[in-house]
Amino acid sequence: MIARRSVPADWRAEALVAGGLLLIAGIVGVTHVMTGRALSYDEAMYASKARSLVSDIPAAWWPIHRPPGLAVLGVLAAPAGFSDVSVRLLTLVLGLVNLVLVWALARSTWGAAAGLIALAAAVAARAFVRELPRFHNDLVSTAALILLMLLLWNQFERRSAPNRLLLAAGPIAATAFYLRYGSALPIAVIGALALVLWGRRMLAHARLVGATAGIAALLVLPHVLSSIAATGSPAGIMRAASAAANTTSASESLRQTLQWIPTLIGAPFAWLVAAVGVIHAVILGVVWVRRRAMPRPLRRHVWILGTAAGSALLIGIASHAEPRYQLFPLMLGLVAGGGAIGSGIEWIDRETRLGPRATLVARAGLAAMIVILVLPAVREVRRDALSREVTLQWWAETGALIASDADGPCRLITSVPPLVGWYARCETQLLADRPSAWLDDHDAAPTYVVLGPADHRRLPERLAAHQDLVDSGRLVPIDGTPEDVDLYRAAP
């Protein structure tokens, strides 16, 4: 009879704490998902595209600059039926995978204590909590980028020589790219820092590294070909994506991002963890300059904080300020901070002469730190549990009204195609100054025109044009819409 190998007590305790933190994050996410808030613009766009891939309902709106990865992943929601809850629960699960990878990267580079602190700080970060229950591509692409960093670190830093597992870096990088085209910027930073840290080792295994790069290039080739077909340029889609995201100056974007760090990105305590990591890196940098030898912990910071700083800078330059755009740099900052704090705890545990008392103090400090970090997340759960009001926005109510009225295929004209189109389940067109051309072309499928609150505030000319159509009897008003929303059905 083969005896089972016992699991070390420290490992069991670590797994228990990590599992508890993931459970808290899951409860936070599920609570938000079940509150009934309608999908936002980007969520509805990706959700409707996912639904269109496996049904006869066309995508409500799909500009060329949108990456396909999240829509393809969204197909996994099909067995449960496409709904707000099903698509959000899908990315919630993937967001929890992101947390596991944050823990794994911190543990692999710094140790067990660092992994738990980074995990607790991530659970407490406001940017993470806000994105966890949303059908966005930010957390999912961040998970792919962190997995790429974890793989490269283990292949080049922790092994005597890389093995064929390195080839997986190609598909991982391509996945991050297809999930979010902006991931090309962090991937470039990761590649540059890999050359700085492991250039000689990569050169010694040039065939394996070349094969990895070749796989990545081959997987990105369909994007290049589709870009040429659609725009005439291999970079046409990327330029369109950049134009859509880069709506402010680089200085304004970076300034706003810096202002958000303590309030919207890492509040209320998570950003302090990242700050400790930066301070630790500066101290190690001073040691390096004085001794002219890079300490091993500084190599970790170069890999983690170097990637975070470079990515944050490039993202800030290439896009407008948005907290969720900085999730990848934030997660890396928390890994670095967890590493710095964990190193201090382990030093106390290892170097002091107080023996078991020092160990007890160090572990009590670690436990207290984790509790302090996750308390805001617990309060978030309590707040949402006490206020479970359904807050469907006007587009969800209007879209449901159209779906009920049409009871089948339909056509829709609106200024917010993804929002109304997701709920209406119609073929959707963008509202034009005069939609009479599409009205003239309508077939047996009923056609609807929606004027929302923004149309009433900003588009008086369009209102006048539609009033002409109403007066002529071509548009018939439908009652029961939310306040400040006008819904019309085209007369047959």
Q: Which of 280-284, 291-295, 364-368, 461-465 is least confident?
A: 461-465
Strands (E), 89-146: none
- The span from the CA of 32 to the CA of 471, in Å, is 44
Report pLDDT digits (tens) over 249-308. Answer: 888 888 888 888 887 777 778 888 999 999 999 999 988 888 777 778 899 999 999 999
pLDDT tens profile 31-70: 888 877 899 999 999 999 999 999 999 998 899 999 999 9
What is the pLDDT averaged over residues 388-410? 85
157-169 per-position pLDDT tens digit: 999 999 999 999 9
Q: Give me the pLDDT at residue 186, please.
A: 97
Whole-number pLDDT of residue 434: 53
pLDDT on residue 5: 42
**CA–CA gap between residue 143 and residue 102 (Å, rounded):** 8
Burial of 285 (0-12, 13-18, 19+ CB in 10 A): middle
Asked whether residue 183 carries a pLDDT value surpassing 90, the answer given is: yes
* pLDDT tens per residue, range 21-34: 999 899 888 888 88
| pLDDT given at position 463 | 64
Residue 1 has pLDDT above 50, yes or no: no
Helix (H, G, I), strand (E, B) or coil at 245: helix
Each residue of 405-451: pLDDT tens digit? 998 889 898 888 999 999 999 988 887 655 556 566 656 688 898 98
Per the CB < 8 A criterion, the answer to whether 243 and 91 are in contact is no
Q: What are the DSSP calls for 157-210, one per residue?
A: TSSSS--GGGGGHHHHHHHHHHH-GGGHHHHHHHHHHHHHHHHHHHHHTHHHHH
Q: Which two tokens stand for residue 5?
A: 């190998």
Answer yes or no: are the C-beta atoms of 451 and 481 closer than 8 Å.
no
Per-residue model confidence as pLDDT tens digits over 205-222: 999 999 999 999 999 999
Q: How far apart are the first and last CA of the chain?
A: 80
Q: Which amino acid is at 448?
A: Y
Strand order in the sheet with 447-451: 427-430, 411-414, 447-451, 486-490, 475-477
Backbone angles phi, psi at 214, to 5 degrees: -65, -40
Convert 200-220 to b/e letters by CB count within 10 Å (16 or more is b).
Answer: ebbeebeebbeebeebbeebb
Q: 3-state SS string over 51-94?
A: HHHCCCCCCCCCCCCCCCHHHHHHHHHHHHCCCHHHHHHHHHHH
Half-sphere exposure of 434 (CA within 13 A, CB side): 8
Let me know: does 361 contact 134? Beta carbons within 8 Å.
no
Task: Please tell me whether residue 230 adopts helix, strand or coil conformation.
Answer: helix
Q: How confident is the model at residue 432, as a pLDDT?
A: 67
Give the closest residue to 150 by CA, choosing from 103, 189, 202: 103
Euclidean distance between CA atoms 107 and 300, whole angstroms: 12
Residue 443: predicted pLDDT: 63
pLDDT(128) > 50: yes
For the chain, what is the mean pLDDT?
A: 87
3 — pLDDT class (breaks 50, 70, 90) = very low
CA 475/CA 466 separation, integer angstroms: 8
pLDDT above 90: percentage of residues in the chain: 56
Question: If we measure between CA atoms, which residue out of 286, 270, 246 comes closest to residue 329?
Answer: 270
Residue with tokens 């023996």: 355
SS3 489: strand
| Chain centroid to CA 49 | 18
* Residue pair 35/384 in contact by the 8 Å Cβ criterion: yes
| Count of Cβ atoms closer than 10 Å to residue 375 Cβ | 13
pLDDT exceeds cutoff 90 at 468 = no
Amino acid found at 340: A
For 166, 284, 472, the CA distances from 140, given in Å and listed in that order, are 21, 32, 50
Q: Read off the amino acid at residue 398.
A: T
3-state helix, strand, coil in the chain (%, to 5): 70, 5, 25
Confidence grade of residue 150 (pLDDT, cut at 50, 70, 90): very high
Q: How many residues does the chain have?
A: 492
Q: Tokens 């390195």 identify what position? A: 166
Q: Which of 167, 122, 176 is nearest to 147 (CA)?
A: 176
C-alpha dist (Å) from residue 51 to 48, 55, 256, 259: 5, 6, 36, 38
Tell me: pLDDT of 351 over 90: no
What is the phi/psi pair of residue 108, to 5°? -70, -35
DSSP, collapsed to helix, strand or coil, labels residue 315 as helix
pLDDT at 462: 62
